[in-house]
Amino acid sequence: MNEQEYKDLAKQHRPKTNVVGNCLKAFLVGGTICLIGQCIQQLFMTFANMTSQEASSPTVAVLILISVILTSLGVYDKIAQWAGAGSAVPVTGFANSMCSSAIESKAEGIVLGVGANMFKLAGSVIVFGVVAAFAVGVVHVIFGLGGVH
């Protein structure tokens, strides 16, 4: 069997993906997470008398806390398996990846297990975020973009 025949055979046995259905599930779950975040922010604005900007940070903290609790109970992973990228893209997906790594590594100890392995998956996200923020900052400085000078 040559390489092309192997590729054809593999293609025949590859499960079919439902792109539209997967996109719809991702949109629904990601949108629901964002809707919950908006409701939490509105609660902070109403009951804590915060502005939208002031309520942003505690809202993210609450979303992260909810994600970590759901990950610890094994619920978030089931949602993520069904929703795909819809649960991975918001900040809750980032919290889930860090919490999952920490839970899987806890048997190896706090330092060499949890501390060393927690950032394996999330590390690339952090690095990309820092590099992207730097690039945007450089563009901002060079071109003088934005309202604050």
In sequence order, what are the residues at sequence separation of 6 or more whose Cβ sits closer than 8 angstroms to the Cβ of residue 82?
25, 29
In a domain, 64, yes or no: yes
pTM: predicted TM-score of the whole model, two decimal places: 0.72
Residue 147 has pLDDT above 60, yes or no: no
In a domain, 106, yes or no: yes
In a domain, 33, yes or no: yes
In a domain, 137, yes or no: yes
In a domain, 148, yes or no: no
Burial of residue 13 (CB within 10 Å: 0-12, 13-18, 19+) is exposed
Residue 148 has pLDDT above 60, yes or no: no
In a domain, 7, yes or no: no
For the segment 39-70, what is each residue's pLDDT rounded down to a tens digit?
999 999 999 999 999 999 999 999 999 999 99
The domain of 53 spans 17-143
Which of the two residues, 115 and 3, has the higher pLDDT score? 3
Q: Over pLDDT 70: what percentage of the chain?
A: 96
In a domain, 94, yes or no: yes
Cβ burial 101-137 (10 Å sphere, 16+ → b, else e): bbeebeeeeeeebbeeebbeebeeeeeeeeeeeeeee
How many domains does the chain contain in total?
Answer: 1
In a domain, 99, yes or no: yes
